[in-house]
């Protein structure tokens, strides 16, 4: 059994991570760290875990007692943690924050559809951002083919859980319900990792990505739509994408339009393509808490540990 520790255990991503790991056939949670919730049962914070585990939060960190560490703390906190702790030899680390997504400090960027073989041999993985996952999966095949030469426009709408568990003016129910708004237009922080990685794959700088993020009136999921000039026919583009993702365990190219309910509560990404007046339109749907965070983190753990990629992740969408 893989012994797991979790830091930052009171947030949404940690709650989803625990939900997956308590049912994972090859993993056992040794401890979940949270200073604010120390001593409480996990289910007192993550109500959906009632009846699944009797573990309590702890304010102690024992890195020698685990094989894999998941860091679910806020962005910027990982570097603070490692300033006062030393990783024992052999410890595998999966960081869900953005601190090391530039692959600094020996981290490998953990997008399996792009870097599966590097992840298999990595000791430290930086888990991608949620918008970054949905948008990169929409564009990776084009980057590989050298076709990101024209300006890319992206609109993507996310559920409220993407903002984290701490309430704010744009996350509480009375504001979010029956409402929609744009934010961080053309400036969202995930653009850095998206452009960096797509440029690496294409082998040179890519055209600008004009990204408009939207807050949606729902709790979880991301629906991203990218469009750009493309010389391929609809049939050629479809074949390009199906060939690129032929070995992917969780990313699939649909012949029909896709929707959020097909992926919520799963680790899947579904893609659909259309061609209009010389522009290729790619729709990409994921669950922001699973393929966009904790599900992908477990997928990375499986790869790093030599397990089947889908271990613990055979989850079915709730379609109604």
CB atoms within 10 A of CB 207: 15
**Using only C-alpha atoms, what is the Rg of the chain?**
19
Sheet with 108-109: strands ordered across? 57-58, 27-33, 2-7, 68-71, 92-95, 124-126, 108-109
Using CA atoms, how far residue 139 sits from 31, 98, 199, 249, 274, in Å, is 38, 20, 11, 18, 14
72 is catalytic: no
* CB contact burial 22-37 (16+ within 10 A = b; e otherwise): bebeebebbbbbbeeb
The catalytic residue among 72, 130, 230, 269 is 130
In the block, tokens 């966009």 appear at 292
Contacts of 23 (CB under 8 A, 6+ apart): 52, 312
Query: Coil, strand, or helix at residue 185?
Result: coil
CB atoms within 10 A of CB 39: 10
User: Counting runs of H as helices and runs of E as strands, what totals does the chain give?
Assistant: 9, 14
Residues marked active site are found at 130
């Amino acid at each position: 059994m893989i012994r797991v520790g979790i830091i930052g255990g009171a947030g949404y991503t940690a709650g989803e991570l625990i939900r997956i790991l308590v049912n994972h056939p090859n993993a056992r949670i040794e401890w979940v760290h949270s200073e604010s919730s120390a001593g409480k049962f996990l289910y007192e914070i993550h109500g959906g875990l009632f009846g699944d585990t009797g573990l309590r939060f702890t304010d102690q960190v024992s890195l020698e007692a685990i094989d894999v560490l998941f860091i679910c703390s806020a962005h910027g906190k990982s570097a603070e943690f490692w300033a006062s702790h030393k990783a024992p030899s052999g410890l595998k680390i999966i960081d869900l924050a953005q601190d090391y997504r530039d692959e600094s400090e020996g981290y490998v960027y953990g997008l399996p559809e792009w870097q599966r073989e590097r992840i298999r041999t990595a000791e430290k993985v930086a888990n991608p951002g949620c918008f970054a996952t949905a948008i990169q999966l929409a564009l990776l095949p084009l980057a590989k083919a050298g076709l990101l030469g024209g300006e890319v426009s992206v609109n993507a709408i996310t559920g409220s859980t993407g903002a984290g568990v701490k309430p704010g003016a744009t996350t509480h129910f009375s504001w979010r319900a029956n409402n929609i708004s744009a934010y961080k237009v053309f400036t969202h922080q995930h653009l850095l990792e998206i452009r960096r990685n797509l440029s690496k794959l294409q082998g040179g700088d890519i055209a600008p990505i004009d990204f408009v993020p939207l807050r949606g009136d729902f709790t979880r999921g991301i629906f991203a739509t990218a469009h750009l000039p493309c010389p391929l026919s609809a049939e050629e583009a479809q074949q390009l994408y199906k060939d690129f993702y032929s070995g992917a365990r969780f990313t699939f190219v649909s012949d029909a339009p896709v929707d959020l309910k097909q992926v919520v509560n799963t680790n899947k990404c579904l893609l659909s393509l259309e061609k209009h007046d010389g522009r290729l339109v790619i729709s990409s749907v994921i669950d922001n808490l699973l393929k966009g965070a904790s599900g992908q983190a477990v997928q990375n753990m499986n790869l790093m540990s030599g397990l089947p990629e889908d271990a613990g992740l055979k989850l079915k969408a709730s379609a109604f």
